[in-house]
Structure 1
């Protein structure tokens, strides 16, 4: 089934003037502009930001080529013409919902999960419908429930399926069997696949067979990534969308996404110019962060094993840099966090923040420096033990 695109994007045929301008560009004719209001083309660029600005909806070509070459080191066929540079994956979600959804349409988002997609969808007047991940020693997608949702009364208004690979905070990668079924369901229902893979490179306790969804050819796919996680640099404000899938769907998506991108033009030439250097640093930064989070996870296991009360354990996290601690379900999650605030000077996010299906969970970051991390874990253990009368 063909993917549905929203009516919000005006992708109508160009007017005669725009068509003639396009013909001139293809013929190599540089037209002068009577209404040129770009000051950098008239010698008015400031010395602090020299150069001539040439707007490219997808981001400067040289920057996209550098990114494609970087991504191509681990997989073949990354085309710079299918990349969009922007400021964040949050912005990418907003663009893609504009591209795919009209007001009142819906996207599917995983639960448990970080509550970002719902907020962005709401800003776009779109609903986020949850599909469940279940835990039975490891996290899996409830594929049967997902199929029921798509076949149910909400099915006709669902335009995209969001997968987080690996998910946050569950840390679960999309398994090969899950991937095959997700692609099949999306294709059958004319639903696009949005794959957020910002945590992909941070494997913790993975199963075999993990793979990026970026480059998926079976269905129209938008893969999201960026420097906030890859480079551990949220302040760099660099993200990207990679478009893949059946050729006809991709071509139409690119045509319409260009309209959205041209309205926003988010990528700064200052940042784009530094992209090659930032990409050169990415592998080292990813390795550095990976060493930290894996070391802290190992320390966490040692501390939990050594705690005589044994009231706290950690759910298996396949990837990412957050884990979920499981505490006795008899403890109220709000009371636990309030006890940490008042007794330890620490705050945190309980499981219900992520729509966990039951009580008794607390998210824990693996990023702090080792000494601080051990103090944090010790504070949680002491607080839980005290609240349980141990």
Structure 2
């Protein structure tokens, strides 16, 4: 990946080294991708359910096979703050020397113009190679080869758990692995969440973890009739994208499908966090949508010792992207400048080892709340029920 590619967008995705080194399985899928591009295929769409590992697979492929793309690689998600056309112009109109790879993640959120832009780019730029990930096949045309991504096999799933050193509550046993594998359907994302939940003491035992996961066992969003809404339908897309949706309704949807937090516009995510903190007893004030001075929310609380002011930064990141130490250091600096009591970062992803190491040095002034904590907050949020007309 060239230096120019790194400057393309703050939403460009990079693969953390620990995930690259800890990648498990998918040898057949990697072989298929490599063989297809070498044989002359110029567009591939990897299709799989949420949590199946298609995003990580695409990023690992881009990282491991850079020698096949002398023109560079660029990896980006489709949930951008800027319009798809603006982003495509910045990425696709850059002159390249030799074949180059553009990985477009979560392409199901592209509109018809975005999909047409990808088709046109593949037609006009003979050096371009496109790897698109999505939750369902997209009408990208005959130039794209379809690669179906399913959950990990049982042996690979167990290897992933062993690699993540998940078994801190006792020795690994067949029942534990089998139970988690069946609940997760081989989903590597679910395995990573389970590992993090146990290691970070979000849950006290594997039994508690299983109970927590069962609460999200029914996939999808339920409509007014109580039936699931197709996650790829226009109705579902409107629910996700429409920033005027009532926060109570968004919270209800997040309780049904927590991963939708990754699709919220950043400002709506800030509003959701503010809503949660308000219900937890804080006085809340959101900073302006732009030029927020390094944080997003003022949160104040009065108790017997006085009034305490907290500064809250919200980071709507999509895994495997993690919040780095530079962001944690920056918020700590703002806390000192503003003379606030303490601060917190709330993220839809996780934190790097460096970020957590720095937080431990200032643990009474800075708190880190990751995706698992956010999940618990959302699940515990008291939804106000609407009265029937």
Specify if TM > 0.5: no
TM-score under structure 1 length normalisation: 0.35
**Over alpha carbons, which structure has the higher Rg?**
1
TM-score under structure 2 length normalisation: 0.35
The structure whose RCO (Cα within 8 Å, separation 6+) is larger is: 1
